[in-house]
């Protein structure tokens, strides 16, 4: 309910989000009134969900925010893996079927780097952010293509997981949801592809990359009974509206 009215809201995330978007969960919205899509078409929904309130903290479920956070941190020279690159071009196509989030390069140098960014919202009871939240053939395909690219001369490949949940201390694959992705990630991590994870700090005022976190590529083990009881606390239904377009700056408004 928004202002006492039932509203359909867009969710820019292909995951299941079942631990976050529970019945009655409190969320923060972006108001897109007057905005249009890149194609020029009018939006079908006035609002999109940016944040979900989970165990007394906000979690950002807006997947397309993750590349923006990485780009902002790169500009501030806070991504050491990309520190040697002066140019970071967004949404660069590899071919007719694949587009990566970024291509990094330097003027006058033949070296290029392909960069893919993945948003992580789900955190398991052990504090490990798990990706993907739903089966994703596309995510596995990206990893395989990055592995192939890393074999080319003057070419590097990077995968960054952006953990947008403050309860996470590490990132790893969600094998029970997508075992192929888990297998592919473990394989790629042994090659020339650089795999890293960062945690974002998120609140109603904005979002930014806070720190690097560990990768947990161990095969999953049993979860204790105590840890398994951890879950979202019940909250009243309430939509907090933030005005602006879906960018990091609009979250600061």
In a domain, 74, yes or no: yes
Kindly state whether residues 34 and 55 are assigned to the same domain. Answer: yes
Query: What secondary structure letter does DSSP report for 64?
Result: T
Q: Name the domain count of the chain.
A: 2
Domain span holding position 53? 9-61+235-252
Do 188 and 211 fall into the same domain? yes
pLDDT at residue 87 above 90?
A: yes
What pLDDT is recorded for position 37? 62
Write the burial class of residue 120 (CB in 10 Å: 0-12 exposed, 13-18 middle, 19+ buried).
Answer: buried
Q: What are phi and psi of 96, to 5 degrees?
A: -70, -15
CATH code of the domain covering residue 95: 3.40.1350.60
Same domain membership, residue 94 and residue 16: no
pLDDT band, residue 7 (cuts 50/70/90): confident
Q: Which tens digits make up the pLDDT trace of 89-147?
A: 999 999 988 999 999 999 999 999 999 999 999 999 999 999 999 999 999 999 999 99
Pair 156, 118 in one domain: yes
Cα dist from 22 to 29, 86, 129, 163, 234, whole Å: 16, 43, 19, 20, 9
Report residue 215 CA to chain centroid gap.
15
Domain identity same for 239 and 188: no
Is 2:27 a contact under the CB 8 Å cutoff? no
Give CA–CA dist 65/109, Å, rounded. Answer: 30
What is the per-residue pLDDT across 23-77, written as a single tens digit (0 to 9) for each?
A: 888 999 989 887 766 666 777 888 999 899 998 999 999 999 999 999 999 999 9
| Cα dihedral across residues 203, 209, 211, 212: positive or negative | positive
- One domain for residues 189 and 219: yes
Q: Do residues 97 and 194 both lie within one domain? A: yes
Strands (E), the chain: 9-11, 27-31, 47-54, 57-60, 87-93, 99-105, 112-120, 122-123, 128-131, 155-163, 170-173, 194-203, 206-215, 239-243
Sequence length of the chain is 253
Q: Is residue 1 part of a domain?
A: no
- Check whether residue 142 and residue 48 sit in a common domain: no
User: Do 178 and 99 lie in a common domain?
Assistant: yes
pLDDT-based confidence at residue 2 (cuts at 50, 70, 90)? confident
Q: Are residues 36 and 122 in the same domain?
A: no
Q: Is residue 17 part of a domain?
A: yes
C-alpha–C-alpha distance, residues 13 and 63, integer Å: 5
Asked if residue 2 belongs to a domain, the reply is no
Whether residues 50 and 70 share a domain: the answer is: no
Question: Per the domain annotation, does 223 fall within a domain?
Answer: yes
pTM of structure? 0.82
Other C-beta atoms lying within 10 Å of the C-beta of residue 84: 12
Gap between the Cα atoms of 41 and 34, Å rounded: 11
């Amino acid at each position: 309910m928004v202002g006492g009215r039932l509203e359909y809201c867009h969710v820019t995330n292909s995951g299941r989000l079942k631990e976050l978007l529970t019945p009655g969960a409190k969320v923060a919205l972006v108001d897109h009134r007057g905005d249009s899509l890149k194609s020029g078409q009018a939006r079908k929904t006035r609002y999109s969900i940016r944040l979900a309130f989970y165990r007394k903290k906000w979690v950002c479920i807006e997947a397309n925010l993750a590349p923006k956070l990485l780009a902002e941190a790169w500009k501030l020279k806070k991504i050491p893996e990309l520190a040697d690159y002066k140019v970071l071009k967004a949404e660069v196509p590899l071919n007719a079927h694949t587009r990566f989030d970024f291509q990094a390069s330097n003027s006058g140098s033949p070296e290029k780097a392909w960069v893919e960014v993945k948003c992580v919202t789900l955190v398991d009871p052990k504090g490990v952010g798990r990706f993907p939240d739903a089966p994703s053939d596309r995510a596995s395909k990206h990893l395989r293509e990055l592995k192939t690219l890393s074999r080319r001369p003057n070419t590097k490949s990077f995968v960054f997981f952006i953990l947008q949940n403050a309860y996470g201390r590490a990132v790893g694959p969600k094998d029970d949801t997508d075992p192929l992705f888990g297998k592919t990630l473990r394989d790629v991590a042994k090659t020339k592809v650089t795999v890293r994870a960062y945690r974002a700090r998120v609140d109603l005022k904005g979002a930014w990359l806070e720190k690097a976190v560990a990768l947990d590529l161990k095969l999953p083990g049993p979860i204790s009974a105590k840890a398994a009881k951890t879950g979202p606390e019940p909250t009243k239904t309430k939509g907090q509206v933030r005005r602006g377009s879906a960018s990091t700056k609009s979250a600061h408004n």
